Structure formats: C-alpha cells, structure tokens
Amino acid sequence: MKLGLIWFWVALCCVPLRAQIQFGEAPVAHKGHVVLVSDALEVMAGEPQVVELRFRVDDGFHINSHAPKDGLLIPTVLRLDSGGGVKVVGEQYQAGSAFRLGGASGEVLDVYQGEFRVSVRMVVPKGASTLTGALHYQACDNASCFPPRTLPVMVAVTGE
Amino acid sequence: MARRLAIVLLLVVGVTLIILSGTHNLRQRQSVIKQAQQNEVALTPADASGSSGDTASDPLAPTMLGKVAPAFSLVDLNGKKVSLADYKGHPIVLNFWATYCGPCKLEMPWFQQLAGKYQAQGLVVLGIDEDDGMATKDVDAASKQIGVSYPILMPDDKVSKDYQLSDYLPETYYIGKDGKVVDQTIGAHSKNELEADIQKAIGTGGL
C-alpha cells in the first residue's frame, strides 16, 4: 500500500516534468518561412511509385494551398525535374485548410500551415539518384505578406 | 530502515524533478518571451513614439519618420502621370500593396471609406502596386474587385528604393500637409488605427 502511494507520488512528480519540458528542437523561423523536411527517399526501382515530399511552414505563417479560392492569390506549386534517370509522372497536392483573415468577417483563405505534403508519382532507376526541382509559394502572417519565393528542392533517392 | 531510506530517496528524487522542471520551464518561458518581443518589433506598427531609433539593427524600423516624403512621378492605371508634387499641401496616405496580399486587401476598402470621410479636409489616398511584372489591366481588375477607386499607381524601382521598402506588405506612409512623413506602418492595421494616423496627417503641417 505504502509502496503504491510512493510510486503514485513519483508519477505525479513526473507529470509536470513531462508537461513543462519541450522535447525536441524549439521552433526556428526560417528566412523564407518554408523548409523541405524530406531529404532522402527509398523507392522501388523501375516501376511507378508514389512518394510523399514533406514541407514545413514556420509557426505563425501560412502559404496559399495549391488551389486558393481567390484567383488573385498565388498558389503553391511544386515543379520537379525529370532527369538523371528519375522520371516524374505527376504530383498530387494535399488539400488546404481554411484560414480566416482579419476576424469574423474576414476573407476565408485556403492555406497550408505547419507540415504539408505533396505526393509525387515517379519512376526511379536502381541505385542512387537525386530528385531536383523547386517549390513556388507565397507566405503571409496574420498582418503582412512576403513576396513570392522559390524554395529549391533536392532529395536523395535510392532505387532498390 | 532500508524501506524508509528508499521512501526518503524517492521523495527527494520527486522534489528534485519538480524543481528541475520549474527551472527549465522558467528558462523556456524567458526564451519564448524574448523571441516574442523580437517578433513584436517586426510586426507591430512602427511609429515615432515607439521607435528606438536603432534603424541599423532593425530593418523594419520607421526610417522615414519626420523626413520629407521622397518625390515620385508614376503612371496610374489609365496611363496618366501622377506626381507627389501634384498634391502639395494635402495630407496624403501612400499605401504600398500587392494583389497577392490578403492583409492589404483587408485595409484597402477602409482607405476608400476614409478617403470619402476626410475628402473635405483634402485627404488624398494613393495606392502603389508592388506586384512584380503584373500587367496594368490585371492590377486594374484587382483594384476594382477589392472595391477601391482612389488612384492606383504602377511602381518603378526608384520609388521602392526611395521609400526604403522592407520585404513586408502592406506598408503605408502618412504624409502631413508640409510633405513630411508623420507615420509609417508595416502590416495591416485596424480601421481605427488607420483613421487615427490619417487624423495625424490632417492635423500636421498646416499653416
């Protein structure tokens, strides 16, 4: 009984410890506010395969999805190069999420926040190759926007 | 005896964990607060009263406050030449915007309303489009969609450089009747804040 109480007490002590310590890296703001998370892929060689490229938008920022509702907004577009034995067949974009600008009566945008993924269908050769391309996007926070930017994409691909 | 010792030991470990977590939490919070304060400097409206004057370390500092607004001569959406000098003696709002900028489009209808409200005081609102290489007809269509009828000017490299634009949009300059910049803001603001800045421009530099 006593021992049970002691373990309960220790577990209780650990709760605030777990809750208060942030494990992993603290959020870092990047110059363009978007980074490529995927840096290496392993794919079955010689036949069409779908892989996901992961990107991350800095906390507090958003970029337009691939299909923004307003025609004036700049969509996020991933352009990949076919070359070096890698053949890109097509891309499929994650759906955006709703983001209301400027309070209850503001315009509702379709955006990516945090991590988002683009599925890429491609054929890779056996062995090591590199997938290259660029992500074109335009970032904003709640009150201001940045000019459109292009993020270079370079991912090591191993065909097995 | 050994059991009591174990109990005491566990209690000590527990208390130590609490102290450690508290200390870590405090440091973490201080770090976050510091970072938030830095972000705040970047995104809050820059005004004369809040300026530290340290423009070298803060690229978003209000660099133009109190200075004479740089002259420019641009063309509007109809191809008509418009110069800042055309509005000498008027309070002026100079709003840099772009069609891709949601917060800009939030503010612009308010500028339109306030231009009407303060027309009798001679207020002039000018928009300068900062889209890169967008055709005039597309900017015209966008401004109509946003619902503004005040002059929208097409930019040149000189005006952006002269006004020391940052990477952020919108950027707005409030110019008094004496031609000096009375306020400079970055990012969208509430309608009340825009109106207060306009009143400042109207009330400044008169004879």
pLDDT score for B167: 87
With an 8 Å Cβ cutoff, are B102 and A140 in contact? Answer: yes
Quick one: B27 and B83 in the same domain?
no
Stretch A49-53: mean pLDDT? 95
The token pair that represents B18 in the structure block: 């609490």
Distance from CA of A42 to the nearest CA of B (A): 37
Residues of B labelled catalytic: 104
With an 8 Å Cβ cutoff, are A107 and B102 in contact? Answer: yes
Quick one: B26 and B94 in the same domain?
no
Residue B55 within any structural domain of the chain: no
Distance CA A78, CA A27 (A): 24
pLDDT band (50, 70, 90) for residue B55: very low
A104 pLDDT more than 60: yes
Q: How high is the ipTM of this complex?
A: 0.74
The token pair that represents A50 in the structure block: 């779908």
A10-46 pLDDT, tens digit each: 555 555 555 455 444 455 667 889 999 998 999 999 9
Note whether B21 contacts A: Cβ–Cβ < 8 A: yes
Distance CA B153, CA B164 (A): 17
Stretch B73-89: mean pLDDT? 96
pLDDT score for A69: 87
- Which helix or strand (DSSP H or E) is residue B39 part of? helix B2-43
pLDDT band (50, 70, 90) for residue A4: low
B21 backbone dihedrals φ, ψ, rounded to 5°: -65, -40
| Owner of token pair 């605030």 | A16
Quick one: B143 and B195 in the same domain?
yes
Stretch B82-94: mean pLDDT? 97
Question: Could you tell me the CA-to-CA distances from B30 to A19, B34, B41, B57 in Å, in that order?
Answer: 17, 6, 17, 22
pLDDT score for A114: 97
Residue B27 within any structural domain of the chain: yes
Q: Report the number of distinct structural domains present in chain B.
A: 2
Quick one: B35 and B80 in the same domain?
no
pLDDT score for B14: 67
Distance CA B27, CA A20 (A): 11
B16-31 pLDDT, tens digit each: 766 666 666 666 655 5
Quick one: B34 and B116 in the same domain?
no
State the Cα angle at B103 between B101 and B108, rounded to 5°.
95
Peptide bond into B170 cis (omega under 30): yes
B31 backbone dihedrals φ, ψ, rounded to 5°: -65, -45
A5 pLDDT more than 50: yes
Chain centre distance of CA B181: 14
Please compute, for residue A61, the number of CA atoms within 13 A of its CA located in the half-sphere on the CB side: 25
Quick one: B181 and B79 in the same domain?
yes
Stretch B115-134: mean pLDDT? 96
State the Cα angle at B10 between B5 and B15, rounded to 5°.
125
A73-93 pLDDT, tens digit each: 999 999 999 887 899 999 999
* Residue B95 near residue B134, CB atoms below 8 Å: no
Q: What is the CATH number of the domain that holds B99?
A: 3.40.30.10
pLDDT score for B51: 39
Quick one: B34 and B90 in the same domain?
no
Residue B61 within any structural domain of the chain: no
B8 pLDDT more than 50: yes
Quick one: B79 and B159 in the same domain?
yes
Size of interface A-B (CB pairs under 8 A): 93
β pairing state of A49-57 and A115-123: antiparallel
* Residue A72 near residue B146, CB atoms below 8 Å: no
> For residue B120, what are the domain limits?
73-202
- List the single residue in B14, B168, B170 with the smallest CB-CB distance to A10: B14
B92-96, B141-145, B201-205: segment of lowest average pLDDT: B201-205
pLDDT score for A31: 80
Distance CA B28, CA A20 (A): 9
Quick one: B104 and B169 in the same domain?
yes
Note whether A141 contacts B: Cβ–Cβ < 8 A: yes
Quick one: B137 and B193 in the same domain?
yes
pLDDT band (50, 70, 90) for residue A8: low
Residues B87, B88, B91, B97, Cα dihedral to 10°: 50
Residue B166 within any structural domain of the chain: yes
pLDDT score for A28: 62
- Between residues B203 and B4, which one has the greater pLDDT? B203
pLDDT score for B9: 74
pLDDT score for B149: 96
- The dihedral built from the CA positions of residue A75, A78, A81 and A82, taken in this order, carries a sign that is negative
Quick one: B79 and B38 in the same domain?
no
pLDDT score for B45: 38
- List the single residue in A22, A109, A148 with the smallest CB-CB distance to B102: A109
Please give the domain boundaries of chain A with CATH numbers for all domains. Answer: 27-159 (2.60.40)
Nearest to A124 by CA among A77, A88, A80: A88
Note whether A9 contacts B: Cβ–Cβ < 8 A: yes
Quick one: B84 and B169 in the same domain?
yes
Starting at the edge strand that comes first in sequence, how are the strands of the sheet with B152-154 ordered? B81-83, B73-76, B152-154, B124-129, B92-97, B171-175, B181-186
Note whether A76 contacts B: Cβ–Cβ < 8 A: no
The pLDDT mean for chain B works out to: 83
With an 8 Å Cβ cutoff, are B14 and A9 in contact? Answer: yes
